[in-house]
Structure 1
Amino acid sequence: MNSSEIYQAPEAELKESQSENCELASLSRRFWATVIDKIIFLGVITIPWLLLDWLGVDNSKFQDEHYISVLMLFLYFILNLYLLIVGGQTIGKKFLKIAIVRSEDGEKQNIFIILIFRMLLFWIGSLIINFLFVVDSLFIFGSGRRCLHDLAASTKVINLKK
């Protein structure tokens, strides 16, 4: 390095912000992704009991008849957690090719932020304050198409490139 290069600005590769290249998912895609997730959620709870009934298994043999539902919910949660970690998607979002990303730069959001702010806080909050789910959902009609849980977690839902 010679003395004239001392005052030269350091070179760094500038990464183009992906946030500008991200197209927000439409209201209908987000709605149908949620519907798909809820149908699967309800199926996970009820199908094991319907199968046991159809197979003629005596449900009274179970000490607590909710063990199967709790196990299935746990497996459903693990599958969704895996999909969220890998691609920022739930089953419904994966099916409709949309994903959760950080609102600032369009990159994957930290899984703990998603779990705490997008899921846990609002699931528990909705159980305690019934209208929180409605208020949360109504925020999607704002200009940024972000629900309250998106704002809390600094996320947005985008269309994936096909």
Structure 2
Amino acid sequence: MFTILGADGKEYGPVTATKIAEWIAGGRANLQTQARRAGETDWKTLGDYIEFNPAATPPPLPMGSSDPAAPVVPAPVAAGSDEPELAERGTRLGAFLIDYLLSVLVTVPGFLILGPAFFSVFLSAMRGQEPDFSVLQAGTLLTGFAVLALGGLTLLIVQIVMLSTRGQTIGKRMLGIRVVRYPEGSPAGFVHGWLLRNLVPGIIQMVPWIGFAFYITDACFIFSQERRCLHDLIAGTKVVKA
């Protein structure tokens, strides 16, 4: 396992030699990139490691080796990729729509209990007219709002648990995609998978004017090369095929 030092000064890793070989092939790293193997403390360049540069001097054999003239040299790692593919933009949109539809469906029982009388009062208030509250019954209101709250809270808990443990909402699971950490692809967990990726952007979107601009900008970022929306950048995540 290796850790590299990016051009932005941040450490990336630990990741496998195969992953770094892929980065080299893709131009994200080169033989001059600073790196160190797991267990080492000093930074070297990738070119100093024989895994990435066959011309590099192999490390000396341990003392007492029976055949110092024939050191065992590991073969260079091919630039293959065992990293999951990025999720398609259309698939991500489909997962979002499924989750949105579910959030609407869980409100249906509560609104059915509230009935037409509630909507009549609500529409009158919206039009600036004097609502007729006499048509409302306290028991019906309490039951309706309780069912609304229960449905919404149940769905929220299910989505949070699934994101924290699987990196998936119900919609993402149905369409075979998941949220992982960027760039290494490790599980996102509660903090990155929901708190930073969903709650923080949701709070920003509630700010007048700024929220709408954030929402539009967030959606436009899906067309970047890495398909990472603004909320992915905030949370340090990406969405891949499961």
Give, in angstroms, the shift of residue 4 of structure 1: 1.9
Distance in 2 separating the partners of 1:20 and 1:151 = 23
Asked if the contact 2:159–2:170 (Cα under 8 Å) also holds between the matched residues in 1, the reply is yes
Which structure 2 residues correspond to residues 41-60 of structure 1 after superposition, within 5 A? 41-50=103-112, 53=115, 60=138
From 101, 106, 116, the counterpart of 2:195: 116
Partner residue, 2:89: 27
Give, in angstroms, the shift of residue 51 of structure 1: 6.0
From 230, 239, 242, the counterpart of 1:148: 230
Runs of 4+ in structure 1 over 6 Å off = none
Letter in 2 for 1:105: E
Asked if the contact 1:52–1:59 (Cα under 8 Å) also holds between the matched residues in 2, the reply is no
- Number of residue equivalences: 142
- TM-score normalized by structure 2? 0.53
Which structure 2 residues correspond to residues 1-162 of structure 1 after superposition, within 5 A? 4=63, 21-50=83-112, 53=115, 60-61=138-139, 62-63=141-142, 65-128=144-207, 129-160=211-242
Distance in 1 separating the partners of 2:98 and 2:172 = 9
Question: Aligned to 1:4, what secondary structure does the other structure show?
Answer: coil
Distance in 2 separating the partners of 1:109 and 1:133 = 22
Max Rg structure: 2
Distance in 2 separating the partners of 1:82 and 1:156 = 18
More strand by share: 2
Greater RCO, CA 8 A, separation 6+: 1
Asked if the contact 2:163–2:194 (Cα under 8 Å) also holds between the matched residues in 1, the reply is no
Give, in angstroms, the shift of residue 81 of structure 1: 1.3
Give, in angstroms, the shift of residue 46 of structure 1: 2.4
Identity of aligned residues (%): 30
Give, in angstroms, the shift of residue 70 of structure 1: 1.7
Give, in angstroms, the shift of residue 105 of structure 1: 1.1
Letter in 1 for 2:108: T
Give, in angstroms, the shift of residue 64 of structure 1: 7.6
The superposition leaves residues 84-142 of structure 1 with CA deviations (integer Å, 9 ceiling, x where unpaired) of 12210001000001000011211101312222211111111111122311111111011
Distance in 2 separating the partners of 1:50 and 1:31 = 29
User: Can you give the 5+ residue segments of structure 2 that lack an aligned partner in the other structure?
Assistant: 1-61, 65-80, 116-135
Question: Aligned to 1:101, what secondary structure does the other structure show?
Answer: strand
Letter in 1 for 2:240: I
More helix by share: 1
Distance in 2 separating the partners of 1:95 and 1:48 = 26
- TM-score normalized by structure 1? 0.78
Distance in 1 separating the partners of 2:137 and 2:192 = 39
Distance in 2 separating the partners of 1:72 and 1:59 = 21
Give, in angstroms, the shift of residue 59 of structure 1: 6.0
Asked if the contact 1:59–1:65 (Cα under 8 Å) also holds between the matched residues in 2, the reply is no
